[in-house]
Structure formats: structure tokens, C-alpha cells
Structure 1
Amino acid sequence: MADYRTIDAGIGARSSAHIDAGLRTHMNKVYGTMSVGLLITALAAWAIANLAVTSTPTELMFREGQYLTGLGQALYTSPLKWVVMFAPLGMVFAFGAAVNRLSAAGAQTFFYAFAALMGVSISSIFLVYTGVSITQTFLVTSISFAGLSIFGYTTKKDLSGMGTFLMMGLIGLIVASIANIFLGSGMLSFAISVIGVLIFAGLTAFDTQKIKNDYIAHAHAMDSTWLAKSAIMGALKLYLDFINMFMFLLNLLGNRN
């Protein structure tokens, strides 16, 4: 007579192995999509920054020997700069509201469009900071992000309790950042950058664990559409963690032109 406990254990082991393999595929999709988004952002920011300045004299000098083109003046000195600044935030909320109605391909296209718009929004960093400091800060961010994401993926500690605290901190950070646009306080800017790095460091670990746990929780009842959309939403979360951590670190570590 068959030992059903042995059979059940064998089925359970195969099921667990199947989930582990699926989880690795899922996380590779998340990180791959996120990486493509970061590449699009970097290329868009670099391209716009190069189109925004010229050596040909115009009515607005940027610095010695360089002048803002019509595009540069529109993006950085006209009221359009406020639209460009806050448009990515609006797209994040729109994406969250529309993702259930979008196909997987539509959601991915939306994410890549968002990444391009983010590149336009942060393109001024190539005019404000030296190329060396941007590269160095990107490497520091990459190493930090990788370590934090690995921690979030491998730790046995439940990080869900951090979520509410981090989201409250994020809301306060956004309010303080908007206020400082008008106040222009150097001390407040420094404090915002330090707190911002800490918040997004915590969110990197928290979001990585949540992406992993969401997959495991739905592993027995998922479909390909859910899987694809879940990977894109996970990529968006980690993308935002990376970009924000990079920008705050750049404000702290970057050398200005």
C-alpha cells in the first residue's frame, strides 16, 4: 500500500521547486524591465540636455560659452518647467488607476513612456552636475540598491511593518520638497536629501520583499496576464526607489558645474 505521506511530500517538494523556479523568472522580469526603464531615462535625459544648450549665442546665456536653446528655455525657464517637473508624479497615479484596464503590453508601453518622461524631467542634472559626479553617484546608487534589494529578497524578517512608517515619511518628504521649491533653504534641502536616501533605502528592501511575497501568495492561482502586469508594477516600484535614491544622493554628493 502506498505511503500517502511520502506521495504528498513528493508533490509538495515538486510544487515548491516549481514556485522557486517561477519566482526566479518573475524577479528576472522585474529587474530586466526596471533596467530597460533606467536606460530609457538616462538616454532621454542626456539627449534633452544636449539639445537644450548650444555654443551659438542666444538671448539667454547658461554659462561661459554655452547658451540655452529655445527648447532649453522652454523646459528650464518658462512655466512649462512646472508641468515637466510634476508630470511623472501624475503619470504614476494614472498608471495605478489604469493598470487593471490595460493589457500587459499596454502597461509595459506606459511604463517605458513614463521612463522617457522622467528622463526629460531630470535632464537638467547634466547641466548642473559634472559628468564624473553623475557617474560616481550612479555607481554608488547601483551598489546600494543591489545590496538593499538582496537583503529584502533573502531576509527572513517580515518587513511589512515598515510599510506604513515609510509611506508616512514619503508623504512628509514630498510636502517638504514642494515647500522648499519656494523657500529655497539650503539646510532644509540637505535634510530632505538625507531623509530621502534613508526612506528610499528602506523602500527598496520593503518593495523587493513585497514583490516576492505577492508572487508566492498568488503562485497557485495566477495567470500569465497577472504575472506580466505584476512584474511591470514591481519594476515601476523598484525603478522609483532607484531614481529617487540616485537624485537625493546626487544632491548630497554631486559636484556642480
Structure 2
Amino acid sequence: MQPEIQLANSSTQLESAQNKVLRNTYMMLGLTMIPTVIGAYMGLSLNFAFMAQHPVLSMIGMLAVMFGMFMGISANRNNALGVVLLLGVTFFFGLMLGPILQAALHFRNGAQLIGMAAGGTGAIFFTLATIATVTKKDFSFMGKFLMVGLVMLILASLANAYFQIPAASLAISAIAIMIFAGYLLYDVSQVVRGGETNYVMATLAIYLDIYNIFVNLLNLLMALAGNRD
């Protein structure tokens, strides 16, 4: 009986640790919304003319800055600096919402579109997070497929930043929503099943999923439901 008791205790401790990581991740995720909103508010008043004139160069520069910050967060995932860098990167992402928010607010129903995108993103998050948490199904098999899809999405986005084809932009946004919805399911599942044990890295992954779903959903709504009259 002793080995069975030890196994049960070990299983209970493991589940408790996983729940703690998930709880800390959700708390940190809520905290990251503060610098994001502040950054977005500041981004509304910035001039992004350079990005509009040089879209490919701007996208490459943004990717370089982002991956540099991601490396810094990863290297400091187990100390307070990692949290500071995480909040810093979410502020940066908030700033980068400036161009699309400015474009949305040029529509008569722009505020409504932003609200719909935020509400839709929230609905997607809560639905998929609940599925991953309640079912506790292993979604790790999705990892390789999602990575291939992400690489292809980045390449397609870089190409369309040069060619600027409206129909392609809509297709890219639709595909991006599906890819990052898949990543959301995958990333929450990783925390629930103990595949990710660091709440800073888990928060970063889930934040990026939510951010990209919101941006691409707003892009679709502007194209399909925007009212310029």
C-alpha cells in the first residue's frame, strides 16, 4: 500500500503545481493588459508614416525587436527581470496597435468594430481555454503543424507587405485567426498538462495568441463591416 500512497501523493502534488502555474499565468495575463492599454492609448497619437511608406522594412525591424525581447524574457524567466521585460514587451505591442486602431477609428462605427474584435477575442479565449482546462486532452500533436503554418504565415505577410493585395490581406487574417486559435488551445493545454511549468513563458505565449487573434479579427471586421459614410 505504501507505494500506492506515495504515487497518489505525488500525483496530487503535481496537479497542485500545475494549477498554481495556470493560476499565476492568468493573473499575469490580466496584469499585461494594463501596459497594453496604456501603449495602445499612446499609439493613437503617434505618427506611423514611416511604417506605411516602408512596410517590409518596418515588419522586419519589428520582428527583430520582438525576438530580441523574447530572448531577454526567456533568459530571465525565473527572476523578477523576466516579469519586467514581459510587461515591457506588452507595452511595445500596445504601441504597435496604433496603426490599426487609427485606421479603425476612421470608420464611423470604428469604436464598435474595436469592441466587437475585443469581445470576439475574449469569447475565443474563454471557449478554448475552457476546453483545454476541462478536457485536459493532450493537444501537443498540434505543435509541428502550427509551427509550419506560422512560418508560412510570416512569409505570406512579408510578401503581402510588399505587394499589398487587399484580398490576400483578408485571407492572411482569416488563416492567422485559425492558427493562433490553435496555438491558444495548444499553449493552455501545455500549462494544464505540465508541459510548461514557468508562468512567465506561459503568459507570453498565451498573450501573443490573444494579441494576434484580436489584430486579425479587427482587420477582418474593418474590411467586412466598416462604415465610412
- TM-score range relative to shorter protein: 0.7 to 0.9
C-alpha separation in 2, matches of 1:200 and 1:191: 14
Secondary structure of 2:98's partner? coil
Secondary structure of 1:214's partner? coil
C-alpha separation in 2, matches of 1:206 and 1:13: 27
C-alpha separation in 1, matches of 2:138 and 2:14: 20
**Count of residue pairs brought into register by the alignment:** 219
Q: TM-score, normalised by structure 2?
A: 0.84
**1:63 maps to what in 2?**
none
Tell whether the 8 Å contact from 1:42 to 1:119 is kept in structure 2 after alignment. Answer: yes
* C-alpha displacement of 1:24: 1.8
* C-alpha displacement of 1:238: 0.2
Task: Please list every run of 5 or more consecutive structure 2 residues that lacks an aligned counterpart in the other structure.
Answer: 105-109
**1:27 maps to what in 2?**
22
Measured against aligned partners, the alpha-carbon deviations of 1:150-171 in whole angstroms (never above 9, x if no partner) come to 2223335432221111110011
Question: Which residue of the other structure, out of 211, 220, 223, is the alignment partner of 1:252?
Answer: 220
The structure-2 alpha-carbon separation of the partners of 1:95 and 1:191, relative to structure 1 and needing over 3 Å to count, comes to same
The structure-2 alpha-carbon separation of the partners of 1:148 and 1:100, relative to structure 1 and needing over 3 Å to count, comes to closer
The structure-2 alpha-carbon separation of the partners of 1:20 and 1:29, relative to structure 1 and needing over 3 Å to count, comes to same
* Amino acid in the other structure paired with 2:27: G
**1:128 maps to what in 2?**
103
* Amino acid in the other structure paired with 2:96: S
**2:189 maps to what in 1?**
209
**1:183 maps to what in 2?**
163
* C-alpha displacement of 1:187: 1.2
C-alpha separation in 2, matches of 1:95 and 1:81: 20
C-alpha separation in 2, matches of 1:167 and 1:80: 24
**1:60 maps to what in 2?**
none
* C-alpha displacement of 1:200: 0.6
C-alpha separation in 2, matches of 1:215 and 1:170: 20
Tell whether the 8 Å contact from 2:176 to 2:216 is kept in structure 1 after alignment. Answer: yes
Tell whether the 8 Å contact from 1:138 to 1:246 is kept in structure 2 after alignment. Answer: yes
Tell whether the 8 Å contact from 2:43 to 2:96 is kept in structure 1 after alignment. Answer: no
Q: 1:1-257 residue pairs with structure 2 within 5 A?
A: 5=1, 7-49=2-44, 51-52=45-46, 72=47, 82-83=57-58, 85-86=59-60, 88-99=62-73, 101-102=75-76, 104-129=79-104, 130-214=110-194, 230-254=198-222, 255=226
Q: Give me the CA root mean square deviation.
A: 2.5
**1:58 maps to what in 2?**
none
Tell whether the 8 Å contact from 2:40 to 2:94 is kept in structure 1 after alignment. Answer: yes
The structure-2 alpha-carbon separation of the partners of 1:88 and 1:34, relative to structure 1 and needing over 3 Å to count, comes to farther
Tell whether the 8 Å contact from 1:75 to 1:81 is kept in structure 2 after alignment. Answer: no
* Amino acid in the other structure paired with 1:158: D
Task: Please list every run of 5 or more consecutive structure 1 residues that lacks an aligned counterpart in the other structure.
Answer: 53-71, 217-226
* Amino acid in the other structure paired with 1:36: L
Q: TM-score, normalised by structure 1?
A: 0.75
The structure in which a higher percent of residues are helix is: 2
* Amino acid in the other structure paired with 1:26: V
* C-alpha displacement of 1:28: 1.3
C-alpha separation in 2, matches of 1:127 and 1:47: 11
